Every structure is written in structure tokens, then in C-alpha cells.
Structure 1
Amino acid sequence: MAMKWIEAVTGPLEQKKQYRQDKARIESLPEPYGTAAKAMHRYLLNTSGIVDGDVIIRMLTDLADLWEAAAVDGTSVHSIVGDDPVDFADTFARAYAAKEWQDKERARFTQAIEDAERAEGS
């Protein structure tokens, strides 16, 4: 009973456990992969707009997988992110299409424009 109450307030504990594991994996990466992975992790959390916890966890687990594989293979950071790291990270996040906080406002804006166009045509 207490567990359900705690999860209702804080979110699923399993997600938190997975997040901490993935964060620890990123923290343990050798340089320069650790620096790149930490920067990308921060960027994704601040800009992806994803609000679904399961999707965020899946994305961050894949992020840790990506940088661990690069470290093992010796793939250069530039070979991973290319010339535009922002575009790479944004494209990476788009692969995890989920409901975003902006979706509500996009729908509201679109509806307002349609309403205005209908009123204009009357």
C-alpha cells in the first residue's frame, strides 16, 4: 500500500532504478566518451520535450549503449555526432517519438488558426 502511494507521488521506482544505472554507466565511460555522453545526456533531458518516463528511460539506456559501444570499438566522437552535434542529438531524440508537453499547445494553436480562418471566410 505504501509503495503505491510513494510511486503515485514520485513516479515508478523501477524507472528511477534504471535511470540511476544508466547514469552510472555514463559516468564510468573513459574519456573523451564520458564528456560527450554526459553533455548529450544533459542536452536530451533539457531539450527533447519528452514527458513519458518509459520513453525517456528507453532513450537514455540507448544513449548509454551507444557511447559504451563507441568506447569499446574506439570510434571517434566526431564519427558518432558528425559536424553538427545538435542535429545529431535532436535526430536521436526524434527517434523516440512520444507525447511532448508542446503537443497540447500545438493543437490549441492549430485550432485557433482554423477558427480564425473560418471566421474570416464567413
Structure 2
Amino acid sequence: MPRKSHYTCGLDIALAVIGGKWKPLIIFHLGGERRRFGELKRLVEGISEKVLIQQLRDLAEDGVIARHDYREVPPRVDYELTAFGLSLAEALKPLCAWGEVNRKEVGTLQRPETTKDA
């Protein structure tokens, strides 16, 4: 993911790492546990396999998650948050709480979702 040379604020920096629809949900569902790809695919409802693969790759490149490949047949790979990722997950918790508190109001304001995986 290309990085800017100048960020305007801390939120700009955070969004450079977690920007998009899926990364915060992946981080939430990892939540300090190791999870396999298929488990994440089930937990992150609506994400395509292609997009999940790319998002996991981006998060690993950014040091948010660690990918463990056991080099077995059949293949076994799992993912977990790094210490950096755990600190990011903690930072996302108040946003999650805000969403729960405001679920009803946001539900009435929400625009129809697009079918795009972006």
C-alpha cells in the first residue's frame, strides 16, 4: 500500500493502516486469537475470498497480523494479531462501542450498500 510522506493528523495515519471496509472487521474478528482463513471467511460476512486474501496480505505487510504457514499437506495457515495489531485492536474498541450505542440511529440514516467488495 502506498504511503504518504506527510500525514495531517493521527486519524490520517490510522486510516492509512486500516482504511477500507474490511480491515477493521478482520482485526476485530482476530481479537487476540489465532484463526484460519476459512474461519475468518465465515466471520467476516460478505467478503469475497479474493478480497480477504488481499486484505490479509496488506495487514501482514503493515505488521498488523502475523501469518503462520505450517508447511503441511494439506496446507495449514493461520493468522494472529501482532503486538502492533493488538494495540490497534484496542484503539478500535471505543469505535465499536460507539457503533453499538448508535446502532438504531445509524440504521435509519444508512444508505443502501453497494455490492462492490472495496
Smaller-chain TM-score range?
Answer: under 0.3
TM-score (norm 2): 0.27
The structure richer in strand per residue is: 2
* Greater Rg by CA: 1
TM-score (norm 1): 0.26
The structure richer in helix per residue is: 1
